[in-house]
């Protein structure tokens, strides 16, 4: 199967490298061609024109910024897309957008799976991404061996379901980062050592990947972007849109979304663990640690 990968950003670059390492032949395209061209030395075939990149590809994988960008790229690529081609969108979009993409491609005789991921740049580089897929079981079975080079793919339902699962993931991530920040600040303000507090509760019921990775970031005050505040805010808003469509109220998520909205006004490109900074601004004079902020 000829693979075309669209979107060579922070996540796309290491994902393509994983596919190449697994022995796949990959054509790459990006709006900024230099990013695609940088993968030539790794064995990818960079192509400057979108129509030429997708022409003849049995599998198209997109990893783009947001739903509107996916829609634009898909619309531009569709005339050159091979009959019965399978498009796997690994971007984070709204459920309704993914369902619309599926309907658009199905109407033109093509196929679609939404397969957003969790695990960040580190997971992309290590090939350990959690991949949440929505689509036809037969289509998923066809692409599962390819996705396995990137991480652990799981079919969670029909088209759009992958995005729902990703939103559930981001709901937990966004809320937990804020709760870990509150624990860090409380420990500091109440006279305990935040680092020792974190070590003491490791292995108990509060243990989590967030406490591990983002708790350490907070202690080091390392807010250089892995997952950006702006991206987390986009995800929070998508969660609330899905909740509204499903007819449910998520009060904690509403609070978390507001915290990221305020933080995005000043630190949109910082790592989402900078939720600690936003919390400290609500508590003037209180600060975790003495290290300078890295953003």
Say whether pLDDT at 236 is over 90. Answer: yes
Distance in angstroms (rounded) separating the CA atoms of residues 173 and 292: 25
Average pLDDT, the chain: 96
Torsion of CA 131, 141, 112, 155, to 10 degrees: -40
**pLDDT tens, 173-201?**
999 999 999 999 999 999 999 999 999 99
Q: What pLDDT does residue 225 have?
A: 86
Distance in angstroms (rounded) separating the CA atoms of residues 241 and 96: 9
Mean pLDDT of all residues in 83-93? 95
Q: What pLDDT does residue 226 have?
A: 79
Please give the model's pTM, rounded to 2 decimal places. Answer: 0.84
**pLDDT tens, 248-258?**
999 999 999 99
- Higher pLDDT pick, 178 / 65: 178
Active site residues: 166
Q: What pLDDT does residue 104 have?
A: 97
Q: Which domains does the chain have, with CATH numbers?
A: 3-158 (3.40.50.720), 164-282 (1.10.1040.10)
């Amino acid at each position: 199967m000829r693979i075309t990968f669209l979107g060579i950003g922070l996540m796309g670059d290491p994902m393509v490298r994983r596919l190449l390492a697994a022995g796949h032949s990959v054509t790459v395209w990006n709006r900024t061609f230099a990013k695609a061209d940088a993968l030539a030395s790794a064995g990818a075939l960079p192509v400057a024109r979108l129509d030429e990149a997708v022409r003849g590809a049995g599998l198209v994988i997109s990893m783009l910024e947001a739903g509107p960008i996916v829609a634009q790229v898909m619309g531009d690529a569709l005339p050159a897309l091979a009959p019965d081609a399978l498009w796997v969108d690994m971007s984070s979009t709204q459920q309704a957008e993914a369902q619309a993409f599926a309907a658009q491609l199905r109407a033109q005789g093509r196929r679609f799976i939404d397969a957003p991921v969790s695990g960040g740049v580190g997971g992309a580089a290590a090939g350990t991404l959690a991949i949440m897929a929505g689509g036809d079981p037969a289509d998923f079975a066809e692409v599962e061996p390819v996705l396995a080079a990137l991480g652990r793919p799981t079919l969670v339902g029909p088209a759009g379901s992958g995005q729902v699962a990703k939103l559930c993931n981001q709901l937990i991530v966004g809320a937990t980062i804020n709760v870990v920040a509150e624990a860090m600040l409380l420990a500091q303000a109440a006279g305990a050592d935040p680092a020792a507090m974190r070590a003491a509760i490791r292995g108990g019921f509060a243990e989590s990947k967030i406490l591990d990775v983002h708790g350490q970031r907070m202690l080091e005050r390392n807010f250089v972007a892995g997952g950006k505040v702006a991206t987390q805010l986009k995800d929070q808003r998508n969660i609330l849109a899905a909740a509204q469509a499903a007819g449910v109220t998520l009060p904690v998520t509403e609070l978390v979304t507001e915290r990221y909205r305020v933080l995005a006004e000043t630190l949109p490109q910082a790592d989402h663990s900078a939720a600690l900074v936003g919390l400290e601004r609500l508590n003037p004079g209180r600060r975790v640690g003495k290290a300078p902020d890295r953003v």
